[in-house]
Amino acid sequence: MQLQQLYYFKEVAERGSINKAADALMMTQPNLSRSIQKPEEELGLELIRRNNRGVQLTEEGRQFYQHAREILDRVEIIQHISKEDSPRMLSVSAFPSLTSTALLEELYARHRNHHIQFTLRESRLSEIISDVHELRSELGVLHTNPTQQKQVHILLEQKQLEFHPVSTDSWYAYLGPNSPFYDQESVSMRELLEYPVLRYPDDHFSILTSYMLIDGDRLHDLTKRVMFLNNEGAIINLLRTTDAFTFGMSWSREFYAELGIACKPIQDYHVEITLGWAKRKKEQLSREGTQFVELLQKHYAQTAQ
């Protein structure tokens, strides 16, 4: 399939008529029709239907149009690249809360006078690995626990990624002033699990975590009430206004403390969490990627102290 065919299809789809598209492209209607038929033949799909009023996209045709438009938009961007006016780019996928406000503030201060386009995607572990493998992100920032590590490393190998550990920590309980444990020095896991836990939606690896044992019982069996939220702002508001809690690492304690949310050690329960970053094998980091890794290592070396 050729780019020119995508361009012709886009013109027909947007004008709703092969005749009108042929006029705009300054080509004959039969030639344009043949160009449109080639993708249909290659895919074995009907993409457009002709009628008395012009053409109508099928469901497959609408999907094909969306992909064709995205490809052509990117080609246009590539065609206009120049050293003078194109920004440097850095794209990072990270588990929510791992790229803290303090880290992002330092990143902003370092690059505020530079022409850089920075993209941060917050995702679960499996999506982070896919983002880096499929070139949506240059770097992935992730953490794993012992129940996940073997399968995570298998997936990293399959996706041709390498993992660089930065720091280790454990689970803590984050809770607000409405929690009965707010003024305690620490809290037990079984006490915690009598109250609702706020969590990000599950993926394959977080489901593995539910098999972790607490005094011989699975974490999943002990968790009585769970609210799944894909929004850190909503989690923060619920921690501040209800008796719910969430699990997190101590790396975020200073940020949450400013919001009135306490970080409590969990008694008699220690699980080692490893934080690090991943990139594609045999590929050098960009200058911006290297600087981001330096900031990440500096930040988590400080917070681990």
Please list the rounded mean pLDDT of every run of 10 residues in the chain (305 residues). Answer: 87 88 88 88 88 84 89 80 65 83 81 81 90 93 89 93 93 95 93 90 73 66 80 91 92 88 90 92 90 89 58
Q: Residue 91 in 3-state DSSP?
A: strand
pTM beyond cutoff 0.85: no
Provide the residue type at 50 as one letter.
R
Q: b/e per residue, 151-185, with b = 16+ CB within 10 A? A: ebeebbeeeebebeebbebebbbbbbeebebbebe
Q: How far apart are CA 183 and CA 260, in angstroms?
A: 12
Q: How far apart are CA 32 and CA 38, in angstroms?
A: 10
The predicted structure's pLDDT at residue 208: 65
For residue 284, give the DSSP letter: P
Q: How far apart are CA 60 and CA 288, in angstroms?
A: 39
Q: Which fold has domain 3-79?
A: Arc Repressor Mutant, subunit A (1.10.10)
Domain definitions of the chain by residue range:
3-79, 88-167+274-303, 171-271
CA distances from 16 to 13, 33, 35, 39, 59 (A): 5, 13, 16, 18, 15
Phi, psi of 119 (to 5 degrees): -125, 130
The predicted structure's pLDDT at residue 305: 46
Q: Residue 103 in 3-state DSSP?
A: helix
CATH class of the domain defined by 171-271: alpha beta
The region, left, alpha or beta by phi > 0 then psi within -120 to 50, assigned to residue 214 is beta
Q: At what angle do helices 3-15 and 29-43 cross, to 10 degrees?
A: 110
Q: Could you name the CATH architecture of 88-167+274-303?
A: 3-Layer(aba) Sandwich (3.40)
The predicted structure's pLDDT at residue 257: 93
- Same topology, domains 88-167+274-303 and 171-271? Answer is yes
